[in-house]
Chains A and B, each alone.
Chain A
């Protein structure tokens, strides 16, 4: 015992040498973290726990709700709202896709060809967001109205009959169709796609593109082999920032859609605000959506393998 050196004892002794500094040094980071921890607890942890607990309660507004661990709420939440889940997923995936398709060229153009106008162009992308989300969506009602410019152009170009055959629009209308919902969502979420894309594209050294050009890449191959891989963090960030809020969005479906374009958000609102005993099932749907989105996003990030790029 006396001859064998015990490393744990040695370490403890060595650590104990400056006793004055040790406690203070360990406390500081926690103190610095405190405001953030409080914020997270109040605005994130407590609401989530409330939702989760509400999702297994029973009761109604008049008699109050009790925690009865009624897992049956989840059975309802999953079984009865298939159409809404389908619409939410479809619209948000389409929105993400169109936002990327429209946003990438815009971000690319601003980042590489914007020159001294870069900041102004980016401001133009963001400025519309200074107006309320709701007002801008209502404005789309006018744009897509039957007498509006969009319907006029589509009609004269005979595109409306095509979209109608595909089931995207109905009866010569654009407003109150699935197409209108996706239109509104794409419009509303486009800046969220463009911003991260721009940031990652802007970081790319243009000399790398010259190097690609020098090493037998045409403009397209240079984009494919160099620009795209280097802008992947932006693509992933942009699509996530679009997809996550788009899944939960119901304003667009409410204002620009019809009774057949119901999304999950509308159902939750309905259960929360208009049905006396809808609270638990509404919460259960929220939790299902949250977990579902989380799983999707995690597998997306895992698959896209961003750790290397970020």
Chain B
């Protein structure tokens, strides 16, 4: 720990996890995790329940002891530091507000335990930040879920921890409130500039708030990057399916010509940029997001240089802002197409169509993976 300011906050420290492992009996919850979270970033650990994200968080907070590996805050190792000695605070999933204390005392709790005499001013400032100053004298059970959530945040933030851990903080809120709180959380993070590590199973929540997302699956990190990176260029079928929706078409690599990879699938030749293809020979899974696929009536309407496949419309849902099609390929696969409502004629089920997309928007994945990975879990994630 380098320089401490008034509140005991230490400056300059990335959170580093080195070879972090947690086993419960024969079950490996977190498997040899290496991760560096830069100071001041809003970092999201995204994954389905049971993927090890909460266990990772609990090890950082000290509430769970790692089986192996190390945790560093800046230069200081905190692996064996007791939770109450770590400059890390948690916003718990169920908020865990102290029911016997009023809101003021809940927020003041951390400061009082560290022996601060004058807590009135910082507590009031913190309650102002979460816009609940008028509720200082209430008890937690007199507050709504959203208010409790904000108090839980204030109670953790007031300690100015080096890292703030958020364990599914918005999970218990209804959709509208969740959206509102996402914006609020992001605003507060920007305002206070602390490192936020946010655990969630909600991919949309992660994408809205985080600078960097790590997608976890079975105790490992599948892929890490900015929301746009993960979405546009997923590394695995799990990420492609878990983060949004993907059309995945299995094929075989025909050849690599400079920065263009040629793939044959369903008797067609499709192309994609080499930089976006993670397999250079053998089987490959070609992916493209539904909103990047367009629909034409005949092959002649497809712009030159675009990838195209023909099929039959099996389902059409008009959403208003867009139309979602399900197109059956002759091979039996279904491709989703989201078409912006630009006034074009709507294709009816049974219509023979050609689907096409810009090759630069496709991505290629290692063909040996389970093509369905993460797809079923996405239902839960979107819920």
Using CB atoms and an 8 Å cutoff, list the residues of chain A in contact with chain B: 205, 207-208, 210-218, 221, 225-226, 229-230, 308-309
Task: Decide: A230 and B99 in contact? CB cutoff 8 A.
Answer: yes
- The list of the 5 closest CB pairs from A to B, nearest first, reads A211-B96, A216-B113, A215-B110, A207-B96, A213-B83
The answer for the CA separation of A213 and B82 in the assembled complex, in Å, is 9
Q: Across the interface, name the chain A residue whose C-beta is closest to B90.
A: A214
Task: Decide: A205 and B96 in contact? CB cutoff 8 A.
Answer: yes
Task: Decide: A226 and B110 in contact? CB cutoff 8 A.
Answer: no
Task: Decide: A215 and B63 in contact? CB cutoff 8 A.
Answer: no
Question: Which residue of B89, B99, B100 contacts A214 across the interface (Cβ within 8 Å)?
Answer: B89
Task: Decide: B92 and A215 in contact? CB cutoff 8 A.
Answer: no
How many residue pairs link A and B with beta carbons under 8 A? The number is: 61
Chain B 268-302 residues near chain A, CB threshold 8 A: none
User: Known: A215-B110, A225-B113. Is A230-B84 also a contact (CB below 8 A)?
Assistant: no
10 pairs, A vs B, C-beta closer than 8 Å: A211-B90, A211-B97, A214-B63, A215-B84, A215-B113, A216-B84, A218-B82, A221-B84, A221-B113, A308-B100
Task: Decide: A210 and B100 in contact? CB cutoff 8 A.
Answer: no
B61, B62, B82, B96, most chain A CB atoms within 10 A: B96
Residues of A near B82 (CB, < 8 A) are 213, 218
Other 16 A-B pairs with CB < 8 A, given A215-B113, A225-B109: A205-B96, A208-B96, A208-B99, A210-B83, A210-B92, A211-B97, A213-B62, A214-B62, A214-B83, A214-B89, A214-B90, A215-B84, A215-B109, A215-B110, A216-B84, A309-B100
Residues of A near B88 (CB, < 8 A) are 214
User: Known: A210-B63, A221-B113, A225-B113. Is A215-B89 also a contact (CB below 8 A)?
Assistant: yes
Shortest Cβ gap from B220 to chain A (Å)? 26
Residues of B near A205 (CB, < 8 A) are 94, 96
Residues of B near A214 (CB, < 8 A) are 61-63, 83-84, 88-90, 156
Residues of A near B94 (CB, < 8 A) are 205, 207
Mark interface residues in B68-86 (1 if CB within 8 Å of A CB, else 0): 0000000000000011110
The answer for the CA separation of A73 and B308 in the assembled complex, in Å, is 110
Residues of B near A229 (CB, < 8 A) are 100
Shortest Cβ gap from A273 to chain B (Å)? 49
B159 at interface (Cβ–Cβ under 8 A)? yes
The answer for the CA separation of A208 and B106 in the assembled complex, in Å, is 12
Q: Across the interface, name the chain A residue whose C-beta is closest to B83.
A: A213
Shortest Cβ gap from A270 to chain B (Å)? 47
Task: Decide: A217 and B100 in contact? CB cutoff 8 A.
Answer: no
Residues of B near A230 (CB, < 8 A) are 99-100
The number of chain B residues with a CB under 8 A from chain A is 24
Residues of A near B97 (CB, < 8 A) are 211
Residues of A near B159 (CB, < 8 A) are 215-216
Q: Across the interface, name the chain A residue whose C-beta is closest to B82.
A: A218
Using CB atoms and an 8 Å cutoff, list the residues of chain B in contact with chain A: 61-63, 82-85, 88-90, 92, 94, 96-100, 109-110, 113-114, 155-156, 159
Q: Across the interface, name the chain A residue whose C-beta is closest to B89.
A: A214
Q: Across the interface, name the chain B residue whose C-beta is closest to A221.
A: B113
Residues of B near A215 (CB, < 8 A) are 84, 89, 109-110, 113, 155-156, 159
Shortest Cβ gap from B361 to chain A (Å)? 45
Task: Decide: B113 and A217 in contact? CB cutoff 8 A.
Answer: yes
Question: Which residue of B90, B96, B98, B114 contacts A216 across the interface (Cβ within 8 Å)?
Answer: B114
The answer for the CA separation of A278 and B61 in the assembled complex, in Å, is 70
Shortest Cβ gap from B40 to chain A (Å)? 21
Q: Across the interface, name the chain A residue whose C-beta is closest to B109.
A: A215
Task: Decide: A218 and B84 in contact? CB cutoff 8 A.
Answer: yes
The answer for the CA separation of A214 and B62 in the assembled complex, in Å, is 8
Residues of A near B84 (CB, < 8 A) are 213-218, 221
Q: Across the interface, name the chain A residue whose C-beta is closest to B161.
A: A214
Q: Across the interface, name the chain A residue whose C-beta is closest to B88.
A: A214
The answer for the CA separation of A205 and B141 in the assembled complex, in Å, is 14
The answer for the CA separation of A205 and B63 in the assembled complex, in Å, is 15
Residues of B near A225 (CB, < 8 A) are 109, 113
The answer for the CA separation of A216 and B84 in the assembled complex, in Å, is 4
Q: Across the interface, name the chain B residue whose C-beta is closest to A206.
A: B96
Residues of A near B99 (CB, < 8 A) are 208, 230
Shortest Cβ gap from B187 to chain A (Å)? 24
Residues of B near A210 (CB, < 8 A) are 63, 83, 92, 96
The answer for the CA separation of A67 and B113 in the assembled complex, in Å, is 64
The answer for the CA separation of A207 and B62 in the assembled complex, in Å, is 14
The answer for the CA separation of A211 and B85 in the assembled complex, in Å, is 13
Question: Which residue of B62, B98, B114 contacts A226 across the interface (Cβ within 8 Å)?
Answer: B98
The answer for the CA separation of A15 and B258 in the assembled complex, in Å, is 92
Residues of A near B110 (CB, < 8 A) are 215-216
B84, B85, B114, most chain A CB atoms within 10 A: B84
Shortest Cβ gap from A45 to chain B (Å)? 37
Q: Across the interface, name the chain B residue whose C-beta is closest to A308.
A: B100
The answer for the CA separation of A213 and B98 in the assembled complex, in Å, is 12
The answer for the CA separation of A166 and B63 in the assembled complex, in Å, is 47
Shortest Cβ gap from B127 to chain A (Å)? 17
Shortest Cβ gap from B287 to chain A (Å)? 40
The answer for the CA separation of A216 and B109 in the assembled complex, in Å, is 9
User: Known: A214-B84, A309-B100. Is A207-B109 also a contact (CB below 8 A)?
Assistant: no
The answer for the CA separation of A105 and B99 in the assembled complex, in Å, is 23
Residues of B near A221 (CB, < 8 A) are 84, 113
The answer for the CA separation of A212 and B112 in the assembled complex, in Å, is 12
Residues of B near A212 (CB, < 8 A) are 98
Shortest Cβ gap from B151 to chain A (Å)? 12
Q: Across the interface, name the chain B residue whose C-beta is closest to A207.
A: B96
The answer for the CA separation of A225 and B96 in the assembled complex, in Å, is 14
User: Known: A214-B89, A215-B110, A225-B113. Is A208-B83 also a contact (CB below 8 A)?
Assistant: no
Residues of A near B109 (CB, < 8 A) are 215, 225
The answer for the CA separation of A221 and B110 in the assembled complex, in Å, is 12
A208, A215, A218, most chain B CB atoms within 10 A: A215
The answer for the CA separation of A216 and B111 in the assembled complex, in Å, is 9
The answer for the CA separation of A211 and B82 in the assembled complex, in Å, is 13
The answer for the CA separation of A218 and B83 in the assembled complex, in Å, is 9
